Amino acid sequence: MSQVTETTPRPGTAARARQLGRRLNTLGGLVPHDLIALAARVFPAMVFWQSARTKVEGFSIKEQTFFLFEHVYALPLIPPAWAAVLATIAEHILPVLLVLGLMSRLSALGLLIMTAVIQIFVFPGAWVTHGLWAVALLVVVAQGPGRLSLDHLFGLDRGRRQP
């Protein structure tokens, strides 16, 4: 004859789980905002920098870039040649500024707008990737570049700091 037994948590299991959760949250809170802000600046910047480098050869924009903007990306409201030039310039300048932490909030906002345009008009199926970029860029826009930035060094970022 088989015996059915119920498995009930031992007394205090929920309390131990809450205590573990609190400890883990405390450890997460020890990560300095400056380190988070640095990562939020560097990683998205590298994505855009690498994209920028595919658009040029030497100091010239590749014909392939113009072709892509005209036939594949097909952005509304702006001529394809202008879009190609503006995107190439922005993808070279904004990531450098972001990594240096110079005009960080503005640079992050520019890349965030580019991310939205890419998501909406170019690759709408890549929302997970673009969402990750957006979150990192929003950290910089909302919380600032941190103390490991030229903005901080020169006293240019007087906005809201870490929560």
Listed range (12-16, 82-86, 150-154) with the worst mean pLDDT:
12-16
Residue 162 pLDDT > 60, yes or no? no
Assessment of whether the complete model's pTM goes beyond 0.75: yes
Domain residue extents for the chain: 33-153
Residue 4 is predicted with a pLDDT of: 58
Residue 11 is predicted with a pLDDT of: 64
Residue 6 is predicted with a pLDDT of: 62
**Distance in angstroms (rounded) separating the CA atoms of residues 150 and 101:** 5
For the residues 41-53, what does the mean pLDDT come to? Answer: 98
**Distance in angstroms (rounded) separating the CA atoms of residues 105 and 111:** 10
Residue 5 is predicted with a pLDDT of: 60
Residue labelled with tokens 């950290």: 139
Residues 83-107: b if buried by 16+ CB within 10 A, e if exposed: bbbebbebbbebbebbbbbbbbbeb
What is the chain's percent helix, strand, coil content, to nearest 5? 70, 0, 30
- CA nearest neighbour of 99 among 44, 141, 139: 44
pLDDT band for position 58 (cuts 50, 70, 90): very high
| DSSP code for 60 | E
Packed helices 127-143 and 33-54: angle between N→C axes, nearest 10 degrees: 130
pLDDT band for position 38 (cuts 50, 70, 90): very high
Q: Which residue has the higher pLDDT, 158 or 106?
A: 106
pLDDT digits (tens, 9 = 90+) for 84-142: 999 999 999 999 999 999 999 999 999 999 999 999 999 999 999 999 999 999 999 99
Average pLDDT of the chain to the nearest whole number: 91
Long-range contacts made by residues 125-129, C-beta under 8 angstroms, separation at least 24? none
**Distance in angstroms (rounded) separating the CA atoms of residues 163 and 150:** 21
Q: What angle do CA 153, 157, 160 make, to 5 degrees?
A: 130
Residue 28 is predicted with a pLDDT of: 76
Q: Which residue has the higher pLDDT, 92 or 75?
A: 92
CA atoms within 13 A on the CB side of 125: 0
Helix (H) or strand (E) holding 56: strand 56-57
Residue 21 is predicted with a pLDDT of: 84
